[in-house]
Structure 1
Amino acid sequence: MKGWAWQCANALQLAFTAAWTAVWISLALGVVALTGRRDWALRMASSCWAPGLLGGAGARLRVEGVERIDWSRPYLLVANHQSVIDVCALFRAVPVPLRFLLKREMTRVPFVGWYARVTGMLFIDREDRRAGPLLRRDAAGMLRRGESLCLFPEGTRSLTGAVAPFKAGALQSAIDAGVAVLPVAIEGAGAVLPVDGLFRVRPGRIRVRVGTPLPTQGAQGQPDRQVLAAQAHAAVVALLRRPA
């Protein structure tokens, strides 16, 4: 009976997630069509869509370290990746409009793909080896315009919670734009919405910890991207290990 009850609860949660997403994305697209303000649509994600999905999943969000960051500056945020609900947690935690690097396949997802295109998200075709240089150019341009971008440099979600090595090429755009890399650690998201299974939600706590920005400009010149990736990875791991 307990397993059957969880299956029913997850089915209802999935229906709620789809309906909530469709409604708020439709409203956001309408706002962009009427005003041309993509930043307003991003604000709607952080203030309405994301908290609704987190609350509906029974996720209690705790954010640490965000108050120490100068958010008047753009950053390339790099985070570990445990679950699709990571995006909701980051939207809610970061107090400025935030864009993401997404898989090219997301463009085919109704509503989500439309919203991502309209709000200026970036996409990567992981099967196209020529996509890297173009993506880095577009990402650097976004950062130079003062827009913050978030990516998951592991390249995929973790099945175990362990943080895989960061792909160094993803951080080159921050070096090119002269923008600091901001490490962010997400803990608990994999337990709330695990990567395995179709849709299996369990209430729990998600903790987002924001670290210290890693400069890409300084007296020693530009850092090597391999070194920068290793530093960012070590910072995220250290944040995850920090006691609650």
Structure 2
Amino acid sequence: MLRTGIWFIYFFIYLLVISPALLKARYLKNRGKTVELDAFIYKKSSNWARRLVKLAGGRVHVRGQEWIPDDEPVLIVSNHQGNFDIPVLLGNLGLNIGFISKVEVKKIPMISSWMTYMGCIFMDRKNRRQAVKSILDGADALRKGRNLVVFPEGTRSKGGPVGEFKKGSFKLATRSKVAILPVTIEGSYNMMEANKNKITPADVTVTISEPIRIHQQDPAVSDQELADLTRAQIAGHMSEKTVAL
């Protein structure tokens, strides 16, 4: 309980401490200094993410980093076990990334500002027209070189089986024609969800798989086929209890 209290206090105090950095981010954006802005945001956000995981007692083990392309944007597709998935990926992939996020997060002060500068796309799943626009915006961002992360289960599994992947998420790949980078997260739910939302030390394994490019070679591949193929690749790195639907 003490660790949980300390973690949340640190979370909010650190947000306040680095809030002046948003002024620099705004300055860089207004001056059109995109490269400098991206480097600045990546440094601040990844450092913050690693600190949050470390303070929680998380020990992150990354495998398959050789599969990360260094000369092209990717759509990072991951399973979603818990709340710590975002800082785990943000602090350990070594990539400047944005997330496809639910629109409700946009209402959170400061967090929403940082996410906007990171290039995150906010999606309202209850509004079909807005959801379609978010997909189009995301595909456009990918074409322009932005790396995006999507959790196609649409909710946290909390250590349960890997859920069905919603095919709509894969329109980001079929419309932009960027490669899909499958990422498997295992153990993140043990840091919070497995303990009645109490922050608890745990080992987390992040496994990066070979990029999927079949949709780049065959335009006839459907979003559902991509969803099934990507899910199978991600689930293949999970322990047996979290594979079956």
Q: Is the TM-score greater than 0.5?
A: yes
Identity %: 30
- SS for the counterpart of 2:221 is coil
Question: Deviation per CA, 1:160-217, whole angstroms, max 9, x where unpaired?
Answer: 43110100011112111111111100111000121774x4110011111101111121
- SS for the counterpart of 2:127 is coil
* Residue pair 1:29, 1:41 contacting (<8 A) in 2 also: no
Gap change, CA 1:10 and 1:176, over 3 Å in 2: same
- SS for the counterpart of 2:237 is helix
**Distance in 2 between the 1:97 and 1:207 partners?**
20
**Distance in 1 between the 2:211 and 2:125 partners?**
28
**Distance in 2 between the 1:86 and 1:76 partners?**
16
Q: Which runs of 4+ in 1 moved over 6 A?
A: none
**Distance in 2 between the 1:173 and 1:106 partners?**
20
Question: Deviation per CA, 1:105-159, whole angstroms, max 9, x where unpaired?
Answer: 1011121112112332100112112223211110110110011100100001113
- SS for the counterpart of 2:199 is coil
- SS for the counterpart of 2:216 is coil
Which AA in structure 1 matches 2:222? D
Matched, 1:10 2:8: no
Aligned length: 232
Q: Structure 2 length normalisation: TM-score?
A: 0.89
* Residue pair 1:28, 1:41 contacting (<8 A) in 2 also: no
Cross-structure match for 1:74: 73
How much is the aligned-residue C-alpha RMSD, in angstroms?
A: 1.8
Cross-structure match for 1:221: 219
Cross-structure match for 1:133: 132
Q: Structure 1 length normalisation: TM-score?
A: 0.89
* Residue pair 1:100, 1:121 contacting (<8 A) in 2 also: yes
Question: Deviation per CA, 1:19-53, whole angstroms, max 9, x where unpaired?
Answer: 123333x144133123234312123211x101110
1:241 Cα deviation from its structure 2 partner: 3.6
Question: Deviation per CA, 1:210-229, whole angstroms, max 9, x where unpaired?
Answer: 011111211x3341110000
Q: How does 1:72-221 map to 2 (within 5 A)?
A: 72-194=71-193, 197=196, 199-215=197-213, 216-218=215-217, 220-221=218-219
**Distance in 1 between the 2:220 and 2:162 partners?**
25
Worse-superposed segment, 8-17 or 81-90: 8-17
Unaligned runs of 5+ in 2: 30-35, 241-245
1:83 Cα deviation from its structure 2 partner: 1.4
Unaligned runs of 5+ in 1: 1-6
